[in-house]
Amino acid sequence: MSNYNSQEQTIYRSLAGKIQLGFYDKEERFPSAKEIARRYQVSYCPAQRALKMLEKDGLIRLCRGKATVVLAKPYEDYLGSPVFFQRAEALLDLCKCLKLISPAISFHNIRGMRNEVSSPLPEKGPAAGTAQELFTLFEQSLHIMGSHSALSLYYDVNSFVESSFLDIFSSCCGQEETVQLWRTLADSYNDCMRHCGEYGREECLSRLEQMSSLFYDTIISYLANLPSLPPEDSRVPFVWEPHKGRTRYCDIIAIDVICKINQGVYPVGTLLPKGAVLADIYHVSEITIRRTIHLLNRLGVTQTFNGIGTRVSKKGDSSIPHKLRELTLDDNMKCFLEALQLLAILTEPVIRHTFPHIPADTLHKLYETAGGKDQKKAMVGTTSMLLQAVVHYSPLLSLREIYSRLTHQLLYGSILRLEETGEETVPGWPAMATSIREGCLSPESSTLAQACRVLFENNFASTQQTLMEIGVKGAEEITGFETNIPSVTAEN
């Protein structure tokens, strides 16, 4: 049986969702395996397996030498299906998350594609037509980012949501009002693309936030007032797998631990934190941590003693990257840069939303960490604490899920810090540290949120420049931000 979060399963659910949404009518031509592979940026085999799964479920008909055609939708009444009720609680949480982050994602992409819009969107009649138009426009804008991670998040969200959002509008508003809503949203999105430069950042974001409220508030109200939900043990959570079938967390966690050994966080001769503590720090299972410890022992930097723990034996050296050759691949460096890009886009609204839930002692620790005398060590520690704050204290489970996965992706960049001591200077850090410390003391969430956005934007820009200089293929394709950094340093 194929893993639920495998490439073919994700493609299958995404395509089934588009059939449910009405993107492909009955007896209409369906994309070929080659077209699907290109769209989802995968090889031919998982695309073909996804088609076979759709055929097995009676949704399409595959004919050798002929076009694939659609036979039926997965659900005639999705809102009445057991699947919908199993996901309803997570859908409500996910809706609140998307309402929060989608304006920031849209704004980033609109800046990149506004010059490509040459004419207004064509008029459409049926509600499904204009909904398709809006969904397609947003998906096209995501390609501007140059990020596999962002597309993966979009596809996982779509496959989890299926047609629930559109079906809720049809149920609550009726056909005529629904048609008008899609038209309004599509026109507003088109208008933002055309005039983003004239509006400026704040006005454009305000317009996008209004659109987000217009779309999500009706859905949130519907989901919040469902009469009953299934037992808790049968409810299905939202899960995001950014890079399916490729993750070896023990390798990247091992590199990060070695960096901390080299920087004195875990001094030679001391014991590493217990497995449960490390599992909480890195948001992985204790099994993954046991594999990590086994790898560290094989690399010779630690030694485990039964009944005592794992003791640090020596610092890592330049031979480590050669022993873990796969961590130096361009794809892993791109994963790291994509995580920084998403954090730079999302951090301001996310910190603004999470700030009231962060305990005072955590903000005090963040204040102290940002003020550390060693700039690089202070910046890395501050970044880590910000991520931990969202993962531990955000009231939205789906947001915790997203930030947990981004934390994993940042570990790919630990390879860039192997030779660092933590005492290196970071261009622009004193000003950023001051802003972050002021944000920790301010009662206004926007102060810390804006300071964190500047931190991640500069972090992304300097890291991208470093990766391009060392020849990482594709690093220049990941779209960045307007920043002012004095010189180049990889800042993770």
In the sheet that 60-61 helps form, which strands lie side by side, from edge to edge? 29-30, 68-70, 60-61
pLDDT in tens, 186-224: 888 888 888 887 888 899 999 999 999 999 999 999 999
pLDDT in tens, 111-140: 877 544 443 333 333 334 466 777 777 777
Closest CA to 340 of 416, 259, 437: 416
Give the 3-state secondary structure of residue 457: helix
CA dihedral 464, 465, 468, 470 (to 10 degrees): -110
The pLDDT score that the predictor gives to residue 321 is 66
| H or E stretch covering 68 | strand 68-70
The pLDDT score that the predictor gives to residue 347 is 95
The pLDDT score that the predictor gives to residue 403 is 97
The pLDDT score that the predictor gives to residue 324 is 63
The pLDDT score that the predictor gives to residue 118 is 40
- One digit per residue, pLDDT tens: the chain, 492 residues? 455 556 788 788 888 878 877 777 666 678 888 888 888 877 788 888 889 998 888 888 887 777 788 888 888 888 999 999 999 999 999 999 999 999 999 999 888 775 444 433 333 333 344 667 777 777 778 888 989 899 889 888 988 888 898 889 888 888 788 888 888 888 888 888 888 878 888 999 999 999 999 999 999 999 999 988 888 888 999 999 887 654 467 878 888 899 899 889 999 999 999 999 998 888 777 888 988 898 899 888 999 998 899 999 999 887 776 666 555 467 778 889 999 999 999 999 999 999 999 999 999 999 999 999 999 999 999 999 999 999 999 999 999 999 999 998 998 887 777 778 888 899 999 999 999 999 999 999 999 999 999 999 999 999 999 889 888 888 999 998 865 554 433 344
Give the 3-state secondary structure of residue 304: strand
The pLDDT score that the predictor gives to residue 122 is 38
Task: For 7-70, give the CATH class.
Answer: mainly alpha
| Contact indicator for 310, 292 with CB cutoff of 8 Å | no
Angle at alpha carbon of residue 403, lines to 397 and 404, rounded to 5°: 85
Length of the chain in terms of residues written: 492
The upper half-sphere exposure of residue 491, i.e. CA atoms within 13 Å in the direction of its Cβ, equals: 28
Two structure tokens written together for 324: 């873990």
Tell if the pTM clears 0.75, that is, is over it: yes
The pLDDT score that the predictor gives to residue 325 is 54
Give the 3-state secondary structure of residue 413: helix
Two structure tokens written together for 145: 């980012």
Give the 3-state secondary structure of residue 222: helix
Give the 3-state secondary structure of residue 30: strand
pLDDT in tens, 224-266: 999 888 888 889 999 998 876 544 678 788 888 998 998 899 9
| Contact indicator for 296, 254 with CB cutoff of 8 Å | yes
Could you please report the per-residue DSSP string of 2-24?
--TTSHHHHHHHHHHHHHHHTSS
Q: How far apart are CA 47 and CA 203, in angstroms?
A: 41
User: How many CB atoms lie under 10 A from the CB of residue 415?
Assistant: 22
| pLDDT, mean over the chain | 85
- CATH T-level fold of 249-320: Arc Repressor Mutant, subunit A (1.10.10)
